[in-house]
Amino acid sequence: MLDLSTRKYFGIRRLGEFSSPTTQSFETMIREAILDNEMLAIIAPYGSGKTHLLQRVKASLAADKGVKVLFSDVRDEAGLLKGGSIMQALATDLCGEHEQVRRSAEARARQIEKLLGIGLVQDSRHTCLVIEDAHRLDLAALDSLKRLREKDFLGHRPLLSVLLLGWPSLDTKLEKRRDLLTRLTRLHLDEREGWMTFTERVAYLAARYGDIIDAPTRDRLATKHVVPVEMDKAVEAGLTEARLAGYDRLDDRIVEPDLGEVYEQLKDRGVTLAEIGGAAGGLSKSSVKDAIGGKGPHTDAVAESMRRLNQKTNGQPTATLHALPTS
């Protein structure tokens, strides 16, 4: 989170909200899963935007006057998530202030079935069980979720939707319950599914921070970081550093270009690998290529060579070039 001094310095009252056709399509899939009483696993690394995506869906459903949805959120702070704690949380939310939760597990299960059925059939209300950190579910809890989804009330089944929000390790657990996989849809928030591609990441930074990050730096940050929380952390650190340096925006004075980016600029000006190698003390073209790719022992020498050539061909001083770590 940006500190108050940095917010005031750059005139940031609130960060912009990012939305795109891609994010909207994901929201629609989740919304439909809830209203169709489906079971959906939303799987992504930490910081990819799972919780924020669900918050947007909840806001959309709350704004729809023709839809009633009761969300039961399960967040167990430590250890494995067990079926008993899930059922207890669900029963508590269903009972509210009007009914006592039954003490025995058997009576509580019957109570949940009845309240889910009454809510769905008589009150036209959907119930959505949301389990965050679902990668911490034990296998027995997955079995209990399957049994819960098999309950019926006056011929209606399933009686609720289930959203599992978890890290990629959730995939491994689900693969061990093949019978559950046939009843569940998996939604991966990653580039393979079109989530936060490079273009989307650049658009995210533009929407969130506007012109206080220049366009080349947005591209640079979107290349280095692939999930929103990592981009935000990098921007927060960069803006703080820019404020302390007295700069009016975040640019290459703070977020330095790597060797690959500078090489592309030099190549556009007609500078060859041989020239870079010559300025670096007679390195071969293959050694220069390796250094630009972050390999080999010559990254520092190539970085210095490219800095001098960049200054010479551009006619003005440049920021220190960032040599990628050697592998």
Q: What is the pLDDT of residues 249-259, one digit of tens each?
A: 999 999 988 88
248/21 Cα distance (integer angstroms): 32
pLDDT in tens, 218-258: 999 999 899 999 999 999 999 999 999 999 999 999 998 88
Amino acid found at 307 = R
In degrees rounded to 5, what are phi and psi of residue 188? -100, 125
3-state secondary structure of 254: coil
Question: Does the pLDDT of residue 2 top 50, yes or no?
Answer: yes
First vs last C-alpha separation in the chain:
32
Residue 319 has pLDDT above 60, yes or no: no
Task: Answer positive or negative: Cα dihedral of 45, 51, 56, 60.
Answer: positive
Highest mean pLDDT among 72-86, 189-203, 303-317: 189-203
Q: What is the average pLDDT score of the chain?
A: 91
With residues binned 3-state (H G I as helix, E B as strand, rest as coil), the percentages for the chain, rounded to 5, are 55, 10, 35
Q: Which helix (H) or strand (E) holds 209?
A: helix 198-209
3-state secondary structure 81-149: ECHHHHHHHHHHHHHCCCCCCCCCHHHHHHHHHHHHHHHHHHCCCEEEEEECCHHHECHHHHHHHHHHH
DSSP at 190:
S
Residues above pLDDT 90, as percent of the chain: 78
Q: In whole angstroms, what is the distance from residue 232 CA to residue 317 CA?
A: 29
Crossing angle, helix 105-117 and helix 83-95, to 10 degrees?
50
